[in-house]
Amino acid sequence: MLLTCKLEKIEAHRVRFLHLKDYRARQIHDEMNAVYRDDCPSYGTVVRMKRNFQTGHMSLTDEPRTGRPSLTDSAATVKKVEKLILEDRRVTIHVVMNETDLSYGSVWEIIHDELHISKVSARWVPRLLTPLQGQTRRDLSRQMLTL
């Protein structure tokens, strides 16, 4: 992966260099194809890069983007979701959504990826149990089956 990123950066530098020498997109692609062979970017990619440079965007780094920040990264949000689940293990994602003003996907991601909890028999249960918790659960299940 690191090699691919470095190669893409080198390709972008080369496209910019040849653009500044007033090469057309087809000439740039042909020259890169002679050097890189199978690792050459597609003609469409070269055209897109050249068009970007023609509009004055000469920087090779991404510009900051606007948008809503991720709420799942907030420790306070994760704690709030965890508190709601621990108060009532039968709570649904929709109830948590209404309480926290998060989207369904954000709540699901917090529950499954951050808290490592999954829904079992209409209750939220931690996925990773300690050996003692696992043994206790097996013992209680056996007792319930014998009743």
**What pLDDT score was predicted for residue 68?**
67
- Give the 3-state secondary structure of residue 28: helix
Contact yes or no for 59/37 (Cβ under 8 A): no
| Residue 2 confidence class, pLDDT cut points 50, 70, 90 | very low
| pLDDT recorded at residue 4 | 47
C-alpha span between 9 and 35 (Å, rounded): 15
CATH no., domain 69-128? 1.10.10
Q: What is the mean pLDDT of residues 80-107?
A: 90
Q: What's the pTM?
A: 0.41
Give the whole-angstrom CA distance, residue 82 versus residue 71: 14
What is the phi/psi pair of residue 12, to 5°?
A: -65, -40
Measured between alpha carbons, how far is 56 from 65 in angstroms, rounded to an integer? 18
Is the pLDDT at 144 greater than 80, yes or no? yes
Beta bridge partners of 124: 119
Q: What HEC string does 33-67 produce?
A: HHHHHHHCCCHHHHHHHHHHHHCCCCCCCCCCCCC
108 has a pLDDT exceeding 70: yes
Residue 58 in tokens: 């000469």
